[in-house]
Chains A and B, each alone.
Chain A
Amino acid sequence: MFVRKKTALWMLVALLFILPACSGGGSTGGASNGGNNDKPVQESQGKKDKTTLRIAWWGGDKRHEYTQQIVDKYQELNPNVKIDVEYAAFDDYWKKLAPQAAANQLPDIVQMDISYIVQYAKNGQLEDLTPYIGNQIKIDDVNENVISTGKINDVQYGVPTGVNVLGFQYDPELLNKAGVDSIPENWTWDQYEEIAMKVRDAGYVMDGSMAPDIFFHYFLRTHGYSLYNKEGTALGYEDDALFTEFFGRLARLIKEGAVPSQEKLTQTKGILEESEIVKGTGVGVWQWSNQYVGLQAAVNRPMELASMMGPNMEKGLYMQPSMFWSITSHSKNKEEAAKFIDFWINDVEANKMIKGERGVPISASIKEAIVSELSEPEKQVFDFVAAMEEKSSPMSPAPPVGSPQVIASLADLVEQINYGQITPEKAASAFRQEANGILANNK
């Protein structure tokens, strides 16, 4: 009796030691999305010469699928490298990455977004890629304006996976029905407004749902300013009249009924099937070139791309890196990681699988090499981006720490303008106060 009790006790104690071990292993596995954290240890014990890389990205199913294929292909060609993948949707990705960064457990290669790269770079999470550029990572075929988008304070923290450019994506037939033959070359904001009125009179709508941070930023650039100052400690423009002009015009278009109302915009936001152009009531939308292929598929009518409005489009336009590959400073295999990034940018077979899904490839020779693999809309995008690349200027510095909050505040104020709750003038000064308050933390 006594002995049995004792044994039971010991079994329990043993169990106690096992339990935390299990839950510990489970939680790291969960955090890395099945990335098998335990494996590297086993591998390194088995074969010492095999390097293990961890790579993380965000995206949808299609992206996960082909990225996995490329990873498989790379492992096939490089039997000494083993790559563990971790992926998630955009929101979840950043929620997962931040704790990993806090715990010094970032993957070797991470996909970075323009709105986060400064934060990660400034906190010492990312590696300076300059020593690898030209060595492991070949960039002979890459436009300087493009590769420099990965620089923060002249340090190369990321290599763009591809580029996008802003433009107007529209249905030419609907435009004709409104009595406009074609979009004029080098059109201006005033011309845009005129066309919008004609479109309204014909019973259709133009697009007024310009993401405020992106298009207002473009507008500021055409005037020689930018949304943030170089140091990221305050707004980059002094004259609130610019704010009033830009958002005043958009609000006016709403009032005139030439673009959908804010109620409608809020309601249909993020639902492609309910956007005006897909329903056949809207002429076009303003967005990034990489969104064209998906939109074209949903619209299912012939579409075209037009440039941004001027004056001074050349000053305003820039090649936007769709996203970056960055190497983290915790990585123990930075050279191997750099080689994988090179494979991504310069391997023809790999890029035949990517097909510009992460933006138009940055290497000119790759662009040529994969043209034959593209669908008609994909080709349109490649051509459009190539044409715009010549007319673009260097990108402004990447958004500073705190920019998500600044953008949220801007979006709020724009919403209030569009609902008629506040005048553009008042919003302009309110925005200046709020944004500078947030950005002052960067000093």
Chain B
Amino acid sequence: MRKQSLRANLTGYAFISPFVIGFLVFTFIPILISLYLSFTNYNLFNNPQWIGTFNFKKMFTQDQKYWNSVRVTFIYVFAGVPLRLMFALFVAMLLNTKSRMVGFYRTVYYLPSIIGGSVAVSIMWRNIFNEQGIVNSLLIFLGIPPVAWYGDPNAALGTLIALSVWQFGSSMLIFLAGLKNISPEMYEAAGIDGATAPRKFFKITLPLLSPIILFNLIMQTISAFMTFVPAYIISKGEGTPMDGTLLYSLYLFRQAFMFNNMGYAAAMAWVMLIMVGIMTAILFKTSKLWVFYESKGGR
């Protein structure tokens, strides 16, 4: 009997082993190596030299650019994610109405997300905000002087945030699913009691949607912290102007692949991991205050 169960287990292990081996070789071991590298000075040519916590010390105490990239990333996340979610919710509510062609609209609004985050979209965005792009042509048509969108230190990060807001499709779909789950009777009952539309929104829609908002918030925050491609494409990999678009992962990339400071880049990656972990933990903790679960009878 015992022998047989061992055999059965073995079969199970054999079946999952392609994944397990793949995970160990291509994910887990590299993670460990990157942790080791973060304590070394490594330029790819020479063997890594153990330098203890020097990389972290340098990062926190000497590297102004590092702090600038942290600042830029936080602005990007804290401005971009809420805007994106608000926009996604707004569009989801529009698409939740019963009208003809709604399927078509849903497809159209989701399209940017299918190609989202890719190089092509970033290049398109670059062209839209170019000196002679659509946006400036429109401004000139309205008699407003054109703006050097990603040449102006004050505007460049804004165009990146606008791009992230525009790629709202996936959160919108999730919101749409959530909205579909709210039973129409609630609105009807509130309507009979004389509730206005804004009141229905704040007292019914938002509370019932709050678990989904939490989910979207966490997912979008994590991915926003890791944004790389748009900044890389739009600033030609340099984070210009005046490091205004030097997002964290772009600076990490520059350290790793432009300056060959692999150890330093690995250290940056670990700090990023910890930062994202802390942010997620904070979101979870505060969620008790504002997320409403029906099943628990309120809080």
Contacts and interface: CB of A to CB of B under 8 A. Distances in A.
A and B associate in one complex = yes
Interface of A: 5, 8-9, 12-13, 15-16, 19-20, 23, 91, 94-95, 98-99, 101-102, 119, 123, 125, 261-271, 274, 402, 404-405, 408, 411-412, 415-416, 419, 421
B148 A264 contact: yes
Interface stretch (B85-93, B165-173, B238-246, B274-282): B238-246
A419 B44 contact: no
B10 interface: yes
Contact of A5 (B11, B18, B243): B11
A404 to B, nearest CB: 6
Interface of B: 7, 10-11, 14-15, 17-18, 21-22, 25, 44-46, 130-132, 148-153, 236-238, 240-243, 254, 257-260
Given A5-B11, A91-B237, A274-B132, A16 B152 contact: no
Prevailing SS type, chain B contact patch: loop
B228 to A, nearest CB: 14
Contacts, number: 90
B240 A266 contact: yes
Contacts of A20: 21, 25
A12 B14 CA distance: 7
Q: Do most interface residues of chain A lie in helix, strand or loop, or is the interface mixed?
A: helix
Given A16-B21, A98-B260, A262-B151, A5 B7 contact: yes
B243 A412 contact: yes
B259 A405 contact: yes
Contact of A95 (B10, B18, B257): B257
Given A263-B148, A274-B131, A404-B259, A269 B236 contact: yes
A408 B153 contact: no
Contacts of A261: 148, 151
A125 B45 contact: yes
Given A264-B148, A267-B130, A416 B242 contact: yes
Contact of B15 (A12, A101, A419, A421): A12
Contacts of B25: 20
Given A16-B18, A271-B130, A404-B259, A415 B44 contact: no
Contact of B258 (A12, A119, A268, A408): A408
Given A123-B45, A265-B151, A415 B241 contact: yes
B18 A19 contact: yes
Nearest to B10: A9
B14 A264 contact: no
A266 B44 contact: no
Nearest to A124: B45
Closest 9 CB pairs of A and B: A267-B151, A263-B151, A263-B148, A266-B151, A123-B45, A12-B14, A267-B148, A98-B44, A266-B241
20 contacts: A12-B17, A16-B17, A16-B18, A23-B22, A98-B44, A261-B148, A263-B148, A263-B152, A266-B148, A267-B150, A268-B131, A268-B151, A269-B236, A274-B130, A274-B131, A402-B259, A404-B259, A405-B258, A408-B238, A415-B241
B148 to A, nearest CB: 4
Nearest to B155: A263
Nearest to B129: A267
Nearest to A415: B242
B43 to A, nearest CB: 8
Contact of B241 (A98, A402, A404, A419): A419
B27 to A, nearest CB: 13
A49 B46 CA distance: 35
Nearest to B241: A266
Contacts of A5: 7, 11
A414 to B, nearest CB: 11
